[in-house]
Structure 1
Amino acid sequence: MLWLLSKVELSVDRPARAAPLIRRMLEEAYRGADTTGWLVAVAMSAHLLACAGRDGDAADLLGTVRAVGARVGYQAEAMDAELAGYLAPIPDRPGIPDRSMAETMAWLRSAGPFAPEPRRGGSTLAGWGGAHPCGAGS
């Protein structure tokens, strides 16, 4: 359900409203050991980073999704055409760190799209105000 609600918010160009849904999905999947659900939530987190102009971080996170997915036999992009579309613009880089799930969660909580942004006091998503590079239909 969280996945569908976040996709609705993204389809109408509201990533700041999608972000809490994605974060909740991420946390619930991690706590429940739902690896495939967690991979989808991490992939969506990479999309949020790309929307915020953090292409390098997005590419690193997508590399983690692909590495963990390969270990468990799951390809997040193959799950949903919209997800594949969200991830397509993210650069594919060699040598992306192969983080564990625990390391990825620690990074997402401290520096990912949900982390507080020190200069503004909000989150990485706070400055979007409805206009950003990942608008509806992109």
Structure 2
Amino acid sequence: MEERYKKVSESRTEQVYIVRARYLNAAGRLFGGSLMAWIDETGAITARRHCNAAVTTAAVDHLHFVKPVLPNQNVVLVGKVTYVGNTSMEVQVDTFVESLDGSRDMVNRAFLVYVAIQGGKPAKVPKLILETEEEKNAWATGEKRAQLRRQRRREGF
């Protein structure tokens, strides 16, 4: 089988939501579970674009809530592939609150791992073409996170 390659930019995904009453918790802020669902959806779309196949979420490696999100705010999620293995991909999803003037403040960063699925089995994913220093740095830190995930698996976590 021929080796496939894709650029980070080819699978970049951006989704926008308006925070409505149904997404709020008892404190009147965006419910973390709603944001987690949006993050997983954005990450999965990003992974599907990269591998051109169905994917399944294998791990939510990291979620970091920086600030609250309030009613009526625009929430922008940006996904990009940061690291790939043989059948898995790490996707970084950054979440921003976007003001009406277009400025953005980060409210969350998440790293998720997806596995490509074809015929009910894990499938090989394209290699990642790294074009910028930022992409190379993201790969290096993604590689470290992959090593930590393997270590935690060996230790039973």
- Specify the TM-score bucket, using the shorter chain as the normaliser: under 0.3
TM-score by length of 2: 0.24
Bigger proportion of residues as helix: 1
TM-score by length of 1: 0.26
